[in-house]
């Protein structure tokens, strides 16, 4: 299936369903393949990613085209593996979420430069997963899949269910059977099939890999398996938006949560693309990775100076980051080291404190993953690894309403009173 001449812009894919994407290329050996529903290199089993011929020569024209485009990730269609008319097809239209200038938080953390929160809780199902799923849905459409599927611990299941409903796909998503009730409702309400698996997330994943090879899984697009190369590209849009919202400028430092590590690697890819096509000035930037102490395989490897990531058994309240064997771990280590960043972790108590700190300073109620990035930012500043005088962007990738349990035990009324002024005064609130 390997092809030799995919660089030619005369291939149907270059002008059609995949926009500027021209091939899949292996991240390990560089072998190229036609754009298809495949995810591993036939030669070396390395992961595949989308390769492009990006628009060059007229950065001003491209910038104008983007700025007058839709208020969603589709404004970046010229840089994504999607057709030019993608915004006219049914989609949840995620993205272009707020970049919040966090002056109150900056004061608390001793940041004298600019501090921004990229708040992805504003997406349609309130996590960054809507971005990646939107690209996967478009690929599924092109490949003729009729069922969308995934393995998930919550956010992704909801994102797939919702996107499938809007786009007219059947969906069948798989979750561990013992998830919190709220996440189950969110995953089921969109009317697709929701299957609880007696086992943990690893069991769910293994089952999905089996199903893909079975006739029962024919015609199924698993967004995070056989559509993964396309899916992953959705995370690039975080980099694009951050730079555009900073006035077409690279941040000096960016703090990204690590689950599989894919998001961090795609943000780096997106920043490099913007430099290459001249949409931002080429300047150094540092990428920092953030993990929970209870699932910190990449942080541990970074600190130990290792190139390989030793798997861990996750035990943290940051369940959306609880991947003990992160597929992109080694790439994350490369990027953190190459850019002069770091990988750090915080414990559950620090995560909860950071969720509350962000809420009380900026009015943003983050999920546990947002507590991880804010907590790690604080720690990196204290340890002198993150320069508080520069422009820093911290990602919040999800919504506190989905992880209420993390803060509920320590978050409640200041007082319960009778409906009288006397009772109000007695409570010391006047």
Residue 303 interacting with a copy of itself (CB under 8 A) = no
Smallest gap from residue 318 Cβ to a copy of itself (A): 17
Among 356, 378, 391, 395, binds a copy of itself (CB under 8 A): 356
CB 256 within 8 A of CB 263: yes
Question: Measured between alpha carbons, how far is 430 from 425 in angstroms, rounded to an integer?
Answer: 5
- In the bound state with a copy of itself, the residue whose beta carbon lies nearer, of 75 and 286, is 75
Residue 199 within binding range of a copy of itself, rule CB under 8 A: yes
Structure tokens of 373? 């990035």
Give, as one character, the DSSP assignment of residue 46: P
Where does this chain touch a copy of itself (CB under 8 A) — which range of 58-66, 108-116, 276-284, 356-364? 356-364
* Interatomic CA distance for residues 88 and 162, integer angstroms: 18
Q: Which residues pair with 173 in a beta bridge?
A: 150, 194
The three-class DSSP label of residue 148 is: strand
Going edge to edge, which strands form the sheet with 392-396?
A: 99-101, 115-119, 392-396, 253-257, 286-292, 343-346
Q: Restricting to residues 52-71, which ones interact with a copy of itself according to CB under 8 A?
A: 71
- Cβ–Cβ under 8 Å, residues 351 and 375: yes
Per-residue contact track with a copy of itself, 116 to 155, x per CB under 8 A?
Answer: ---x--x-xxx-----------------------------
Quick one: 59 or 122, whose CB is closer to a copy of itself? 122
287 within 8 A of 351, measured Cβ to Cβ: no
Span 169-188, contacts to a copy of itself by CB under 8 A: 172, 175, 177, 181-182, 184-186, 188
Out of 355, 369, 372, 394, the only residue in the binding site for a copy of itself (CB under 8 A) is 355
Site map (CB under 8 A) of a copy of itself, residues 78-97, x = contact: ------------x-xx--x-
CA–CA dist 172, 211 (Å, integer): 12
Using CB under 8 A as the binding rule, whether residue 360 contacts a copy of itself is answered as yes
**Binding region for a copy of itself (CB under 8 A) out of 8-16, 190-198, 272-280, 383-391:** 190-198
Minimum CB separation of residue 187 from a copy of itself in Å reads: 8
From the list 5, 8, 9, 411, which residue makes contact with a copy of itself (rule: CB under 8 A)? 411
- Binding piece for a copy of itself, criterion CB under 8 A, among 192-200, 254-262, 373-381, 389-397: 192-200
Do 371 and 358 form a contact (C-beta atoms < 8 A)? yes
- Let me know: does 238 contact 263? Beta carbons within 8 Å: yes
Instruction: Return the structure tokens found at 266.
Output: 């795609």
Site for a copy of itself in 203-222 (CB under 8 A): 203-204, 206-207, 210-211, 214, 216
Record the tokens describing residue 403, joined without a space: 């992880």
Q: Least distance from C-beta 193 to a copy of itself, angstroms?
A: 5
Matching residue, tokens 């608390």: 108
Q: Does 404 bind a copy of itself (CB under 8 A)?
A: yes
Q: How many CA atoms lie within 13 A of 181 on its CB side?
A: 1
> Minimum Å distance from CB 182 to a copy of itself?
5
């Amino acid at each position: 299936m390997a092809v030799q001449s995919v660089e030619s812009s005369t291939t149907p894919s270059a002008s059609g369903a995949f926009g500027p994407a021209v091939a899949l290329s292996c991240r390990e050996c560089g072998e190229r393949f036609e754009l298809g529903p495949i995810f591993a290199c036939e030669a070396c089993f390395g992961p595949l990613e989308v390769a492009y011929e990006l628009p060059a020569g007229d950065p001003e024209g491209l910038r104008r085209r983007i700025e007058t485009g839709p208020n969603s990730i589709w404004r970046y269609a010229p840089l994504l593996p999607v057709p030019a008319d993608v915004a006219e097809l049914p989609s949840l239209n995620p993205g272009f979420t707020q970049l919040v200038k966090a002056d109150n938080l900056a004061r608390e953390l001793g940041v004298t430069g600019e501090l921004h929160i990229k708040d992805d809780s504003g997406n349609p199902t309130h996590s960054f997963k809507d971005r990646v799923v939107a690209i996967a849905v478009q690929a599924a459409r092109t490949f003729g899949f009729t069922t969308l599927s995934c393995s998930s611990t919550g956010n992704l299941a909801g994102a797939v269910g919702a996107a499938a409903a809007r786009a007219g796909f059947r969906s069948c998503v798989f979750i561990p059977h013992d998830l919190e009730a709220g996440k189950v409702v969110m995953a089921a309400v969109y009317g697709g099939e929701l299957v609880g698996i007696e086992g943990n997330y690893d069991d769910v994943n293994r089952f999905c890999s089996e199903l893909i090879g079975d006739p029962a899984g024919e015609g199924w697009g698993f967004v995070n398996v056989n559509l993964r190369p396309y899916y992953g590209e959705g995370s690039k849009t975080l980099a694009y938006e951050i730079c555009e919202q900073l006035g077409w400028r690279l941040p000096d430092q960016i703090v990204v949560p690590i689950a599989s590590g894919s998001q961090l690697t795609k943000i780096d890819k997106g920043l490099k693309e913007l430099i290459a096509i001249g949409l931002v000035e080429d300047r150094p930037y540092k990428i920092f990775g953030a993990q929970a102490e209870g699932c910190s395989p990449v942080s541990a490897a970074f600190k130990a100076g290792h190139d390989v990531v030793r798997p861990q058994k996750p035990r943290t309240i940051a369940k959306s980051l609880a991947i003990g064997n992160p597929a992109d771990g080694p790439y994350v280590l490369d990027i953190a080291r190459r850019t002069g960043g770091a990988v750090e972790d915080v414990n559950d108590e620090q995560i909860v404190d950071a969720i509350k700190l962000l809420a009380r300073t900026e009015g943003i109620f983050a999920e546990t993953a947002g507590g991880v990035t804010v907590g790690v930012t604080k720690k990196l500043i204290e340890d002198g690894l993150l320069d508080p005088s520069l422009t820093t962007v911290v990602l919040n990738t999800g919504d506190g309403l989905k992880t209420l349990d993390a803060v509920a035990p320590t978050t409640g009324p200041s007082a319960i009173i009778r409906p009288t002024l006397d009772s109000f005064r007695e409570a010391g609130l006047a």
